[in-house]
Amino acid sequence: MTWEDIIKVGYIPSDARKRSTPTMNWMDAFDKFGFDDGAENTGQTEEIADFLSKNGYKTQLIEAGGHNTYIKWVVKEPEKYQHRLYEYPTDSRRHRDAPSRDSFDKELLKLLDGKYGKSMKSEGIKR
């Protein structure tokens, strides 16, 4: 079905979302203060963790103060390869800083950008 067909019919088919590429700011899933510090998180972090798991990655989810969940680190399975492809900044000076694209392995960036669209940085808390 094309967009012209949709305009003629006057509705968007129920499977349209499945057929199109979903987009979200996936970098918010890796930021302690992402998805507006949890106010806008309706399972996106868990969805991203599940997607990574289905593609051979292991993640550690952290619940931050009972209102937001974020991904602390990512490794490629099997676990004997413990080189972390992403790890949340632990330097106290950077603790409130959102992760940057430089924080991620290129393979991981390609996978996440391909599924969710290119994210440049976490939006964090919107004020």
Per-residue pLDDT of 101-127, as tens digits, reads 888 889 999 999 999 888 888 887 776
pLDDT of 37 higher than 60: yes
Contact 116, 28 (CB under 8 A): no
In our burial notation (b when 16+ CB lie closer than 10 A, e otherwise), range 43-53 reads ebbebbbebbe
Query: Over the stretch 47-65, which tens digit does the pLDDT of each residue have?
Result: 999 999 999 998 988 887 7
The single-letter DSSP state of residue 89 is -
Domain boundaries, the chain: 25-116
pTM greater than 0.85:
no
- Give the H or E element holding residue 62: strand 57-64
Spatial contact of 89 and 70, defined as CB atoms under 8 Å apart: no
What pLDDT does residue 2 have?
Answer: 63
- What is d(CA 15, CA 71) in angstroms, rounded to the nearest whole number? 29
